[in-house]
Amino acid sequence: MKLIKSGKDCEVYDNGNTIIKKYKFIRHSILDPSWLLYYDDFNSKYNILPEIYEMNIKDGIHTCVMEKIEGSLLQELVLQAMSKQNQEYSEVMHYIKKCHDLIGNFLEYNIELSKQGKIMFHEDLNLTNIIVTESGDFKAIDIDSVRLNPIRKFSSISLYGTLITQFHNHCIHLE
Ligand SMILES: Nc1ncnc2c1ncn2[C@@H]1O[C@H](COP(=O)(O)OP(=O)(O)O)[C@@H](O)[C@H]1O
Ligand SMILES: [Mg+2]
């Protein structure tokens, strides 16, 4: 088992076919059994998140075992495209469009979910939390950032703006 990231909140391990995330603090949201039910329901429709194989708490440490998504981080792909001599604008446009599609899946799901007074969203969609697979599919990782909240007026939708801002920042930075 290889440690790939150690942050203040969690450690992430690569275990071959699976990714294991160990939380230093208990994440109440993902411990809620209804969170997992909605997560699985959402993913069975859209297949844009890692499958969750196991959630447990051992010795006070909360562990999640999930599908390992093979591919490249979107950040690497965007930086590569933007640093080519004739900047690959169409490639970047394609990435932006695919990100909108990814976000669109949450928005579409929420049309029905909001009738139950709930909303599901990924609160940390950014270029380092999206993996592009070999076949070009976009998958969101960092599963504990998937929130299931009671809906409030204007809640969460504005969070998706940050992803678009990142594209903008990369473009400016590399010009
Ligand atoms: N399901 C996954 N499949 C493949 N790589 C993953 C997966 N989950 C996490 N990773 C890798 O681990 C890194 C950190 O994981 P992440 O869940 O985003 O943690 P953090 O909350 O610290 O950002 C990611 O940038 C990615 O490289
Ligand atoms: Mg992350």
Q: Return mean pLDDT, the chain.
A: 87
Ligand 1 pocket, Cβ-based, cut-off 6 angstroms: 4-5, 7, 10, 12, 19, 21, 50, 66-69, 128-129, 131, 141-142
* Pocket perturbation via mutation, ligand 1, pick of 2, 9, 12 by most ligand atoms within 8 A of CB: 12
Nearest CA, atom 13, ligand 1: 5
Q: Which ligand is nearest to the CA of 144?
A: 1
| Cα separation values, 27 from 62, 80, 132, Å | 8, 35, 27
**How remote is the CA of residue 161 from the centroid of ligand 1, in Å?**
21
| Cα separation values, 59 from 12, 24, 26, 66, 82, Å | 18, 11, 12, 20, 46
Phi and psi for 150 in degrees, rounded to 5? -65, 140
Q: What is the pLDDT of residues 40-96, one digit of tens each?
A: 999 999 999 999 999 988 777 899 999 999 999 999 999 888 887 776 778 888 998
Give the Cα separation of 128 and 162 in Å (integer): 12
Q: What pLDDT score was predicted for residue 13? A: 97
* Pocket perturbation via mutation, ligand 1, pick of 23, 63, 141, 147 by most ligand atoms within 8 A of CB: 141
Nearest atom, ligand 1, residue 10 CA:
22
Is 115 a residue whose pLDDT tops 60?
A: yes
Is 169 a residue whose pLDDT tops 50?
A: yes
Q: Which residues have a beta carbon within 5 Å of ligand 2, which is an ion? A: 129, 142
Domain ranges of the chain: 2-67, 72-174
The helix (run of H) or strand (run of E) holding residue 119 is: strand 118-122
Q: Using pLDDT thresholds of 50, 70 and 90, give the confidence band for residue 175.
A: very low
Superfamily (CATH H level) for 2-67: Phosphorylase Kinase; domain 1 (3.30.200.20)
